[in-house]
Amino acid sequence: MTTILAAVTSLAIALIAWHFLLWPRLLARAARRLPPTPPAIAATLPRIALVMPAHNEAAFIAAKVANLAALDYPRDRLRVVIACDGCTDGTAALARAALAATDLDAVVLDHARNRGKVAMLNETIAAVEDDIVALTDVSAMLAPDALRRAAAWFASPDLGAVGGGYALDRPGSEGERAYWAMQTAVKRGEAALGAPLGMHGAFWAFRRCAWAPLPADTINDDFVLPMTMFLRGWRLAYDPTIAVHEAERSDPAQDARRRARIAAGNAQQLLRLPGLLHPRHGGVALAFASGKALRVAMPAIAAVALAGTLALAPQSPVFAALAICEAAAIALALCGARLGARAPKPLAVLHYAAAGTLASARGVARYLLSTLLGRTAQPWRRAA
């Protein structure tokens, strides 16, 4: 029995080390060996419909419209669609007022009932007749050349979608800043192995002909939609030179809710897109297993590792040393939580990782319970 417990515990520890330490290093090396090479911007540009769902975005909508008006893209090749989803703060009126001062070809769709982002995307994209659809968040500010850089990738007829980079202007914590810097590096590595696993939802673009409506209860649309395209045979690209900056600053509670929702989406993706694990997808399958699948299981794996180490510590110096290391890590993470914004970077990052694991556990558990009970996802809500 002790042998079995030691084997299970050792496996759990190995998976934790692979997911958090070894796998990111492998991705970083892959990204260095095969960096993405953005194509030259073509003289002839495709028609783009820039679709922007919005729910109670009064604080950012005027700045976003000004940001779109500054895009360096031919006005006769660009159409902006702002789909307001049951806004109660005057977002639609503010959007129209801001658009009146620009030369953008734009329309504001003001839906009275809050139905959720996926419903907005399905309905709005279905009505688009342009060659390329670009999706962007209201609080995400685009560089002037973002559309031109994205459009250049579609000179390749097999390309289904391309995603841009993502950076926080004002991270809520040092841990959050490090997390998103890591996510950008991960995307580069995934692209080098075959395809980015999903896109940063702040901005990405795809061929209209590659699109298909999403199930109404989809959680992470910016993962499911591009990866469904990939499974249909379309190529995906990631271009970090497409600069996108997040203007909204999240507080710790808001960030925890977002991470729990992402974790729930990861569980949904694992159940609904198992084809991504097929060996024929090579590096993409390895990335999906090592990144997304292990992230879903990580709270349970961490619990097994902790319990097993504590149980074996009295019998083994090795596991006793591991138990001491685990206790020290937990103590340092709690110190990082206690110090908050004053925490040194290592403590802040450790606390952010620990808090993320707990948020992931809540998100996965909530999704699995909701699935068993037959509940559907709720429409989006803007945090106060």
- Provide the residue ranges of all domains of the chain, joining segments of one domain with +: 48-249
**Rounded Cα–Cα distance for residues 207 and 82 (Å):** 19
pLDDT for 222: 95
Cα–Cα distance, 234 to 226 (Å, whole number) = 9
| Architecture in CATH for domain 48-249 | Alpha-Beta Complex (3.90)
Q: How much is the pLDDT for 349?
A: 79
Residue 37 has pLDDT above 90, yes or no: no
35 pLDDT more than 70: no
% of the chain residues with pLDDT over 70: 94
Print the SS3 string covering 228-260: HHHHCCCEEEEECCCCEEECCCCCHHHHHHHHH
Q: Report the pLDDT value the prediction gives residue 376, as an integer from 0 to 100.
A: 64
Identity of residue 164: G
| 299 neighbors 360 (Cβ within 8 angstroms) | yes
Task: Output 224-227 pairs: Cβ under 8 A, ≥24 positions apart.
Answer: 224/198, 224/265, 224/268, 224/269, 224/272, 224/273, 225/161, 226/160, 226/161, 226/163, 226/196, 226/198, 226/199, 227/197, 227/198, 227/269, 227/273, 227/276
Give the chain's length: 384
pLDDT of residue 382: 52
Phi and psi of 288, rounded to 5°? -65, -40
Tokens 């097999």 map to which residue? Answer: 158
DSSP string, 309-342: HHHHGGG-HHHHHHHHHHHHHHHHHHHHHHHGGG
Q: How confident is the model at residue 56, as a pLDDT?
A: 93
| pLDDT tens, residue by residue, 104-158 | 999 999 999 999 999 999 999 999 999 999 999 999 999 999 999 999 999 999 9
pLDDT class of 384 with cuts at 50, 70, 90: very low
Identity at 147, one-letter amino acid code: L
How far is the C-alpha of 229 from the C-alpha of 226, rounded, in Å? 5
- pLDDT per position as a tens digit, 303-340: 999 999 999 999 999 999 999 998 998 898 888 888 87
The set of residues, in sequence order, having a beta carbon less than 8 Å from that of 378 and lying 6+ positions away, is 116
Return the SS3 of 111.
Answer: strand
pLDDT tens per residue across span 222-252: 999 999 999 999 999 999 999 999 887 766 6
User: Using one digit for the tens of pLDDT, what is the confidence trace for 358-382?
Assistant: 888 888 998 888 888 777 655 555 5
Alpha helices (runs of H) in the chain, residue ranges in sequence order: 2-17, 23-33, 61-69, 91-99, 117-126, 146-153, 174-193, 221-231, 252-272, 283-287, 294-312, 317-339, 345-373
- Using an 8 Å Cβ cutoff, are 284 and 191 in contact? no
| pLDDT averaged over every residue in the chain | 90
Q: What does DSSP assign to residue 18?
A: I
Per-residue pLDDT of 174-186, as tens digits, reads 777 777 777 888 8
Query: What pLDDT is attached to residue 383?
Result: 45
Query: With 70 as the cut, is the pLDDT of residue 276 above it?
Result: yes
Quote the percentage of the chain above a pLDDT of 90. Answer: 67
Better-predicted residue by pLDDT, 375 or 267: 267
Distances in Å between the Cα of 23 and the Cα atoms of 11, 14, 242 are 16, 11, 25
